[in-house]
């Protein structure tokens, strides 16, 4: 054994002595103590990945204890990392359980945990005795002999054991990260739809106070629809996060299938009214590609745009350009036939990598929101209104084009541009009211622009929360 090794072992023993001492100090108060550490063979006992894993498991253990109404004294918690590794010690100040019952509950925690055999939760009773249930843990490595036997006989090679532990911990943390990111993406997507519909006043669109140019839907229709969509967003995120094909186009059939299922859920909640078809299409792609890039820690807006373009490179020609039977053509197909490039609608926008979102709306959202710590209602209303105007003034909304023609669409875009120019001036309110009155008079609703605004807000939040970790 080298001198360095001797020194490490000496430090290890000292650290262990100090832990006993800490326990003894708490014993004087006559309470049950609970400690938690990882079983790591060899040295060092802690490193960056062990420490992060310890913190994850500690948080899980604390929630587990709380779920059993086992309360620890927050003021005297001891948590440190030394030569003996990561260590947590707490006094139990309130519980309906005896020390042995607490030990049994902790054993259940260890058994149910996917990496429970790396976890060591010890309970010391009021008299200072280490509580044991008499059950022996099986060895993590051979899965045959009791762990204590393999440890004492040094049955396994330390380096091999540590490699296996590191790899299992990596997998566990990666799975936690996946769940967390997919959950966050679903939350942000749902929030973007809620903030879009709540935004008021809006030209021609449903908002929290009125129905705009619509007669078949109101604020509550949108809330019901959003609730239906929200439960499927995580499914899309999971699909994107785990997608391992070489070409994202291979994901299209499954993405469409999820999209069709969501549409069914939407129509069931809205009694057949189309509130969010465009949003499902745009957000579906946005969630999928965001999750895919976040899984590789390589999200940037440029990469996002380029993947969206790769996936949808021939979308317009494929979906709008082939119909020969005019009697059966959809609004989208008719629009493309009549207006060409201007009539490409949402498909043209996504094929081009969503320029309305990335070139028009996002710079505005950054300008309006970046310096704000919390995006409250007032700040959101101002910033999202500005972003919506930027989108309306650039977007060739195919629904308006189809129903009202080029002239009305151009007038709408011009009026939105004027609002944008006056955004910081006193004249804004009257200019904006003029735009709202125009939409009411013409019975038009720039729904496609509202969808793009929701997606812009989603992309903004993805950047801020999941990429820059604000
Ligand atoms: Zn073994």
Q: Could you tell me how many residues make up the chain?
A: 470
Residue 420 parent element (H or E): helix 406-421
Average pLDDT over residues 175-191: 98
235 alpha carbon – ligand 1 mean position (Å) = 39
Give CA angle at 277 (272, 281), nearest 5°.
Answer: 155
- pLDDT over threshold 80, residue 394: yes
Average pLDDT over residues 436-461: 97
144 alpha carbon – ligand 1 mean position (Å) = 6
83 near 8, Cβ under 8 Å?
Answer: yes
Q: Which domains does the chain have, with CATH numbers?
A: 3-156 (3.30.70.260), 178-467 (no CATH)
231 alpha carbon – ligand 1 mean position (Å) = 44
The rounded distance, in Å, linking the Cα atoms of 288 and 394 is 25
303 alpha carbon – ligand 1 mean position (Å) = 47
The rounded distance, in Å, linking the Cα atoms of 254 and 232 is 13
Least confident of 150-154, 305-309, 384-388: 150-154
Average pLDDT over residues 178-185: 98
145 alpha carbon – ligand 1 mean position (Å) = 5
Average pLDDT over residues 183-190: 98
Indicate the pLDDT class of residue 5, thresholds 50, 70 and 90: low
Written in H, E and C, the secondary structure of 69-134 is CCEECHHHCEEEEECCEEEEEEEEEECCCCHHHHHHHHHHHHHHCCCHHHEEEEEECCCCCECCCC
111 alpha carbon – ligand 1 mean position (Å) = 17
pLDDT in tens, 224-278: 999 999 999 999 999 999 999 889 999 999 999 999 999 999 999 999 999 999 9
The mean of the pLDDT values for the chain is 93
- pLDDT over threshold 80, residue 403: yes
153 alpha carbon – ligand 1 mean position (Å) = 9
pLDDT score of 173: 97
pLDDT in tens, 308-360: 999 998 888 888 876 656 667 788 888 888 888 888 888 999 999 999 999 99
Closest of 122, 40, 34 to residue 71, by C-alpha: 34
Least confident of 15-19, 36-40, 55-59, 204-208: 15-19
270 alpha carbon – ligand 1 mean position (Å) = 59
45 alpha carbon – ligand 1 mean position (Å) = 19
The rounded distance, in Å, linking the Cα atoms of 48 and 139 is 24
CB-based contacts of 305: which residues, under 8 Å, 6+ apart? Answer: 353, 354, 358
CB-based contacts of 137: which residues, under 8 Å, 6+ apart? Answer: 110, 117, 146, 147, 148
155 alpha carbon – ligand 1 mean position (Å) = 6
58 alpha carbon – ligand 1 mean position (Å) = 25
The rounded distance, in Å, linking the Cα atoms of 19 and 35 is 10
DSSP states along 3-17: HHHHHHHHHHHHHHH
171 alpha carbon – ligand 1 mean position (Å) = 21
150 alpha carbon – ligand 1 mean position (Å) = 5
Own/partner pairs for 310-317, CB < 8 Å, 24+ apart?
A: 310/247, 310/248, 310/249, 311/248, 311/249, 311/251, 311/252, 311/285, 312/285, 312/347, 312/350, 312/351, 313/351, 314/351, 315/347, 315/350, 315/351, 316/344, 316/347, 316/348, 316/351
pTM over 0.85: yes
Radius of gyration of the chain (CA): 30
pLDDT in tens, 90-129: 999 888 899 999 999 999 999 999 999 999 999 999 998 9
The rounded distance, in Å, linking the Cα atoms of 146 and 14 is 27
168 alpha carbon – ligand 1 mean position (Å) = 16
Closest of 34, 79, 20, 29 to residue 54, by C-alpha: 79
Average pLDDT over residues 26-52: 92
139 alpha carbon – ligand 1 mean position (Å) = 4
pLDDT score of 1: 44
234 alpha carbon – ligand 1 mean position (Å) = 39
DSSP states along 189-240: HHHHHHHHHH--S-SSS--SS--TT-SS--HHHHHHHHHHHHHHHHHHHHHH
108 alpha carbon – ligand 1 mean position (Å) = 21
């Amino acid at each position: 054994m080298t001198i360095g090794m001797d020194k490490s072992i000496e430090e290890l023993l000292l650290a262990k002595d100090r832990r006993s001492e800490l326990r003894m100090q708490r014993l004087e108060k006559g309470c049950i103590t609970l400690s938690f550490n990882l079983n790591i063979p060899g040295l060092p006992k802690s490193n960056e990945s062990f420490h992060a894993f310890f913190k994850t498991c500690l948080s899980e253990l604390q929630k587990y204890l709380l779920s059993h109404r086992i309360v620890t004294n927050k003021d005297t918690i001891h948590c440190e990392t030394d030569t003996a590794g990561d260590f947590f010690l707490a006094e139990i100040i309130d519980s309906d359980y005896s020390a042995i019952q607490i030990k049994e509950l902790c054993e259940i925690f260890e058994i149910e945990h996917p990496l429970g055999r790396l976890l060591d939760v010890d309970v010391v009773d009021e008299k200072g005795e280490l509580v044991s249930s008499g059950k022996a843990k099986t060895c993590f490595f051979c899965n045959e002999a009791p762990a204590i036997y393999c440890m004492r006989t040094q049955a396994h090679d330390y380096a091999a054991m540590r490699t296996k532990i590191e790899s299992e911990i990596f997998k566990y943390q990666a799975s936690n990260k996946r769940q967390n990111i997919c959950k966050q993406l679903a939350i942000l997507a749902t929030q973007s739809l809620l903030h879009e519909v709540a935004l008021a006043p809006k030209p021609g669109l449903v908002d929290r106070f009125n129905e705009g140019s619509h007669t078949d839907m109101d604020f509550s229709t949108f809330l019901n629809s959003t609730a239906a969509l929200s439960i499927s967003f995580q499914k899309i995120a999971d699909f994107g996060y785990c997608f391992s094909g070489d070409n994202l186009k291979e994901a299209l059939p499954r993405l469409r299938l999820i999209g069709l299922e969501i549409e069914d859920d939407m129509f069931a909640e809205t009694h057949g009214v189309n509130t969010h078809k465009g949003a499902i299409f745009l957000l579906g792609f946005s969630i999928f590609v965001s999750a895919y890039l976040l899984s590789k820690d390589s999200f940037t807006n440029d990469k996002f745009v380029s993947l969206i373009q790769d996936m949808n490179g021939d979308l317009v020609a494929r979906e709008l350009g082939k119909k020969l039977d005019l009697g059966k053509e959809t609004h989208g197909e008719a629009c493309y036939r009549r207006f060409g490039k201007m009539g490409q609608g949402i498909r043209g926008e996504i094929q081009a990598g969503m320029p309305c979102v990335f070139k028009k709306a996002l710079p505005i959202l950054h300008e309006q929101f970046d310096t704000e710590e919390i995006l409250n209602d007032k700040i959101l209303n101002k910033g999202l209104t500005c972003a919506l105007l930027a989108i309306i003034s650039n977007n060739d909304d195919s629904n308006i084009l189809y129903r009202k023609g080029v002239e009305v669409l151009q007038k709408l875009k011009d009026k939105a541009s004027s609002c944008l120019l006056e955004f910081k001036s006193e004249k804004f309110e009257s200019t904006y009211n003029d735009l709202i009155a125009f939409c009411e008079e013409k019975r038009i609703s720039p729904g496609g622009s509202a969808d793009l605004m929701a997606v812009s807000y989603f992309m903004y939040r993805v950047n801020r929360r999941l990429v820059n970790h604000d």
